[in-house]
Amino acid sequence: MTKQLNIGMVGYGFMARAHSNAWANVSHFFETGYKPVLKAAAARNVSKLRHFADMWGYESVETDWKALIERRDIDAIDICVPNDMHAEIAIAAAKAGKMVLCEKPLARTEAEGLPMVEAVEKAGVANMVWYNYRRVPAVMLIKQMVEAGKLGKIFHYRAKFLQDWTISPDVPQGGAATWRLDVDAAGSGVTGDLLAHCLDTAIWINGSISTLTAMTETFIKERKHALTGEVQKVGIDDASAVLTRFQNGSLGTFESTRYARGHKAAYTLEINGEKGSLSWDLHDLNRVQYFNHGVEGAVRGWTNILVTDGDHPYLGKWWVPGLIIGYEHSFTHQVADFLYGLRDGKPAAPTFRDALETNRVCDAILASGKSGAWVTV
């Protein structure tokens, strides 16, 4: 029998829309034994909140997230608000016995994230962090190919996440639209916002990072605050470039920036091993590029695999081979895995504890960016 799962959404912004879409459509495609219901959404601006709730079909609204958590008809709290609010909401939700799904990064720092991990584990509630790129079928295929030994011993892991939207010194910091530039709200700049995605995928595919050294830079040192109009020092990292050693002996290079003119959300990764290489580009999200050194020399070369067949991860649940899917599907897949996890009694990754490792690496990057030293993670 299908069970109803009542969702309480906190926020109505970018991620609240991406998640609402996933909760709303997952049971049309995946038979998990659960039917999510968009029960209530919480935010402070009631007119914007009502508009969001109407658009997505939420049954009710709350103007205080605490009231949402107190409601007995809510099973799972989905946290889609700026990073400085994750810990307080997640801990309160866990104490109230709710399942908790939290946007990434789990917290602004590892120290802030640890009590969140302890709270969900103490309460014994299902929990997950939305590192959604794991659930892009092509990225999942790369994980499966590496695990199956297709690359043999791994030598290099290389990833970048590039944007260009903060180059103008006129972009303010703080406030609703630009909280990502305010270190108090975001915790860090591109390291926690963009590189965290690259690090999560890397750790998941290639294992833990043992040591690293980083360069970080804040190109624009002062910006106006969007709410007060006051010119203030900028506390975030605008760019980070990192060298790492993984525990498996491979070397990693990572880069994230909001100053790469022309790039809007350029997440790319490449892995080089003894037997072959694999690469992926978010802007060609359905393809994996594969070089198999085992192929006879005369016809050996980079192959592009269109990841749309029924035997590719998740694709059997969608359309027919050759028909592509998009960014939003990664969230639907993540919801599906969360629900399968509930059904099977197995936590869906990344759990809060899994995601804490990415926070630890981000902290090490920011510390190394300041000191210039190699840091043991």
Residues that bind ligand NAD (CB under 6 A): 10-16, 43-44, 65, 80-83, 85, 103-104, 130, 132, 193
Nearest to 290 by CA among 310, 305, 311: 305
Nearer to ligand NAD, 15 or 349 (CB): 15
Nearer to ligand NAD, 12 or 34 (CB): 12
Smallest distance, Å, CB 104 to ligand NAD? 5
Smallest distance, Å, CB 258 to ligand NAD? 13
Nearer to ligand NAD, 20 or 216 (CB): 20
Strands (E), the chain: 3-10, 34-42, 60-62, 76-79, 99-102, 127-129, 154-162, 209-217, 222-224, 231-233, 239-246, 251-257, 266-273, 276-281, 287-292, 302-306, 375-376
Through-space distance between the first and last CA atoms of the chain, rounded to whole angstroms: 46
User: Strand, coil or helix: what is 290?
Assistant: strand
Nearest to 314 by CA among 296, 295, 329: 329
Smallest distance, Å, CB 14 to ligand NAD? 4
Query: Cα separations (Å) of 222 from 83, 84, 219, 261, 262?
Result: 21, 21, 9, 20, 23
Q: To which residue do tokens 């406030």 refer?
A: 175
Count Cβ atoms below 10 Å from residue 215 Cβ, excluding itself.
15
Query: Cα separations (Å) of 110 from 119, 139, 202, 302, 358?
Result: 14, 26, 18, 40, 8
Q: To which residue do tokens 């990344």 refer?
A: 350
Q: Tell me whether residue 205 is exposed, middle or buried, using C-beta atoms within 10 angstroms of its C-beta: 0 to 12, 13 to 18, 19 or more.
A: buried
What's the farthest any 2 CA atoms get from each other in the chain? 67
Smallest distance, Å, CB 196 to ligand NAD? 8
**Cα–Cα distance measured from residue 364 to residue 356, given in angstroms and rounded to the nearest whole number:** 13
Q: What token pair was written down for 302?
A: 């980079």
Smallest distance, Å, CB 149 to ligand NAD? 30
Smallest distance, Å, CB 12 to ligand NAD? 4
Count Cβ atoms below 10 Å from residue 7 Cβ, excluding itself.
23
**11 touches 72 (CB < 8 A):** no
Backbone angles phi, psi at 146, to 5 degrees: -65, -45
Smallest distance, Å, CB 186 to ligand NAD? 7
Nearer to ligand NAD, 46 or 295 (CB): 46
Nearer to ligand NAD, 104 or 329 (CB): 104
Nearer to ligand NAD, 193 or 255 (CB): 193
Smallest distance, Å, CB 71 to ligand NAD? 15
Smallest distance, Å, CB 154 to ligand NAD? 25
Nearest-CB residue for ligand NAD: 13
Nearer to ligand NAD, 134 or 360 (CB): 134
Nearer to ligand NAD, 56 or 290 (CB): 56
Nearer to ligand NAD, 163 or 250 (CB): 163
